[in-house]
Amino acid sequence: MAAAPSALRASSGCASRLGSSLRNGSRPSFFFLPATASMRAATFSTTAPQCKRKTKDSNKRRGVSSLYGSGPREPLSVSDAPLPKPVEFKPKIEVDESHGLWGFFPAPGKLLLTPKETEEHGRAWTVEELRRKSWEDLHALWWKCCKERNMLATAREELLRGKFGFGEREIGTRDDEVTKTMRAIKHTLTERFYTWQDAVEVAKSDPEINLEAGDGQVYTPSAYEEAYDDIAPEEEAPRSTDKEPKETVR
Amino acid sequence: MAEAVKAAAARQLPAFKLGKKQVFLPNHVITMLRKEHLPPNEACFKVPLRFTKFDLRDYLWNLYGVEVTTVRSYVKQQPLTQRSTSSRSWYRPQPHKIMTVELAKPFQWPDAPADLEPWSNDLWRMREETIEQRNEEQLARQRMQIPLKSQQQTLPKERQQLGELAKKMLSGEVKWENNVVLDPRWDKILGREKAGKSTETTTTTTTTTTSS
């Protein structure tokens, strides 16, 4: 009894309270039980502090994890109530035909081409054909090829993912043809660059061309060709329509 | 040229700041991936490894006119792969870079085709099954688990017929006959065998009767 009551166990604390009430001298009457006497009758108590789980470090949540879903240690009042389940509902969204991501597909709303449709393509552009094209044309064609390759890659991925069947070879052949076009474009541009380099070399030794001219007047003819003016409209017509200055150098 | 400049000016600029470095002839292949779990305002792409988030954002805007608000990315490692089935050389293929973007305008993937006849789906599936079966057999053989011919589930037709015939013969339903006319000198031996057999059978029957 010398120890502090807080250090005692719950049950012994209960007994000590019982003993103290006896020692106080108030005689217990069995007919009119006062409020303190009910404590005496109840040797077992279910109050919360006594039912508390004793753990090593008095951690209430020892062993309860949200990571591996252990659930609470004791069943709760709502444990028997069935949980509501989310509804299987995915909203279907209307996509207009102008959406940019349709560029990854053969046509708006169409997932992929059939092998027969994939095979229906022409040959690649040749270097001979591309030589007479302007830089704008070549650039536009290059981007067109990029889009086509992206579309084919998406179709191949979807074909393999969905296990639709044959068609990988056709996609590969078409992709090769597009790649050939892209290679031809680079070939053409490289040729143009080399031609321009050669032209600059030639111009350096040309007395009629002054590359260091600050006013942009590079061509300084030594003599004015009078006869040239008369035939100029016929001869210069094709030249003026030609957009590509590098081609005229060649 | 002037028209292109005008069109670019007329086009509404995106909410983000576009990159300034000009790339004239890019050689990238961007694959759009179908991900069932993604909401409609997100899209997934497989991009080259050297791509950055800004690259994809500007690429989608410049080439497809698609405005993107956020880009998330991760690099997916590929499993170890054998160079060829015969060699013992293994290597790790280049990983894939996957980027998920949040779109300003939502996009819904088109449905898969219902009729797979143009892709010869039946024939393709048969071929795939055959390849799978052969691979499994090969693996079992490497593990020295060679199944007996009789334990095979699918015996050839001739073997099945032979087995049925043998069962019938054993049960006495079919009498064995090879339609060979024997020399009369065999009669004596065969007759003796027959007699012996008959005696044997009689003895067995007698034993069974005595035992019972």
pLDDT tens-digit map of B54-72: 999 999 999 999 999 999 9
**At residue A216, does pLDDT exceed 70?**
yes
Q: Which of B28, B109, B116 sits opposite A165 (nearest CB)?
A: B116
**At residue A152, does pLDDT exceed 60?**
yes
pLDDT mean over B25-53:
95
Contacts of A21 (CB under 8 A, 6+ apart): A28, A36, A37, A39, A40
Lowest mean pLDDT among A48-57, A191-200, B6-15: A48-57
Burial of A94 (0-12, 13-18, 19+ CB in 10 A): exposed
Q: What DSSP character marks residue B40?
A: T
pLDDT tens-digit map of A110-129: 999 999 999 999 999 999 99
Chain B within 8 Å of A180 (Cβ-Cβ)?
A: no
Question: DSSP 3-state assignment of A68?
Answer: coil
**At residue B15, does pLDDT exceed 50?**
yes
Please give the pLDDT value at position B148. Answer: 80
CB contact under 8 A, B64 and A157: no
Burial pattern A174-187, b for ≥16 Cβ within 10 A else e, equals: bbebbeebbebbee
Q: How far is A116 from chain B (nearest CA, A)?
A: 8
pLDDT mean over A204-221:
83
Please give the pLDDT value at position A222. Answer: 78
pLDDT mean over B23-29:
94
pLDDT tens-digit map of B102-113: 999 999 999 999
Distance (Å, whole) CA A238 – CA B70: 51
Inter-chain CB pairs, A–B, below 8 Å: 95
Please report residues of A whose CB lies closer than 8 A to that of B109: 111
A13: its two tokens: 């604390």
| β-bridge mates for residue A209, sequence order | A219
Please give the pLDDT value at position A13. Answer: 41
Please give the pLDDT value at position B212. Answer: 37
Q: How far is A96 from chain B (nearest CA, A)?
A: 9
Sign of the Cα torsion A71, A76, A79, A83 reads negative
- Per-domain residue ranges for chain A? 103-206
CB contact under 8 A, B31 and A153: yes
Distances (CA, A) of B121 to A115, A118, B107, B114, B128: 12, 16, 28, 11, 10
The residue among B193 and A36 whose pLDDT is bigger is B193
Contact B42, B101 (CB under 8 A): yes
In angstroms, how far is the first alpha carbon of chain B from the final one? Answer: 112
Highest mean pLDDT among A156-160, A227-231, B170-174, B184-188: A156-160
Any idea which residue has 């779990």 for tokens? Answer: B37
Question: Cβ atoms within 10 A of the Cβ of A121, count?
Answer: 14
DSSP notation for B139-184: HHHHTT-PPPGGG-SS--HHHHHHHHHHHHHHHTSS------PPPT
Specify the pTM: 0.65
pLDDT band, very low/low/confident/very high, at A232 (cuts 50, 70, 90): low
CB contact under 8 A, A165 and B66: no
Please give the pLDDT value at position B127. Answer: 96
**At residue B146, does pLDDT exceed 70?**
yes
Of A141, A120, A122, A123, nearest in space to A132 by CA:
A141
Backbone angles phi, psi at A107, to 5 degrees: -155, 155
Contact A183, A142 (CB under 8 A): no
pLDDT band, very low/low/confident/very high, at B198 (cuts 50, 70, 90): low
Please give the pLDDT value at position A240. Answer: 41
Could you tell me what percent of chain B has a pLDDT over 90? 61
Please give the pLDDT value at position A163. Answer: 94
Q: Which of B43, B105, B119 sits opposite A164 (nearest CB)?
A: B119
Among all residues of chain A, which has the CA nearest to that of B2? A136
Of B24, B26, B69, B67, nearest in space to B47 by CA:
B26
Chain A within 8 Å of B35 (Cβ-Cβ)?
A: no
Q: What DSSP character marks residue A99?
A: -
Of B149, B196, B63, B33, nearest in space to A157 by CA:
B33
The residue among A86 and A181 whose pLDDT is bigger is A181
Amino acid letter at A220? Answer: T
On average, the pLDDT of chain A sits at: 77
Contacts of A45 (CB under 8 A, 6+ apart): A10, A14
pLDDT band, very low/low/confident/very high, at A46 (cuts 50, 70, 90): low
pLDDT mean over A67-77:
84
**At residue B210, does pLDDT exceed 60?**
no
pLDDT band, very low/low/confident/very high, at B9 (cuts 50, 70, 90): low
Q: Which of A99, A153, A161 sits opposite B107 (nearest CB)?
A: A99
pLDDT tens-digit map of A158-178: 999 999 999 999 999 999 999
| β-bridge mates for residue B47, sequence order | B97
The residue among B121 and A59 whose pLDDT is bigger is B121
Q: Which of A94, A114, A150 sits opposite B31 (nearest CB)?
A: A150
Any idea which residue has 């007395």 for tokens? Answer: A207
CB contact under 8 A, B65 and A100: yes
Q: Cite the beta strand spans of chain B per DSSP E.
A: 31-33, 42-47, 68-76, 81-82, 90-91, 96-103
Rg (CA), chain B: 38
CB contact under 8 A, A104 and B66: no
Distance (Å, whole) CA B73 – CA A72: 37
Please give the pLDDT value at position A223. Answer: 73
The residue among B152 and A189 whose pLDDT is bigger is A189
CB contact under 8 A, B26 and A146: yes
Among all residues of chain A, which has the CA nearest to that of B30? A150
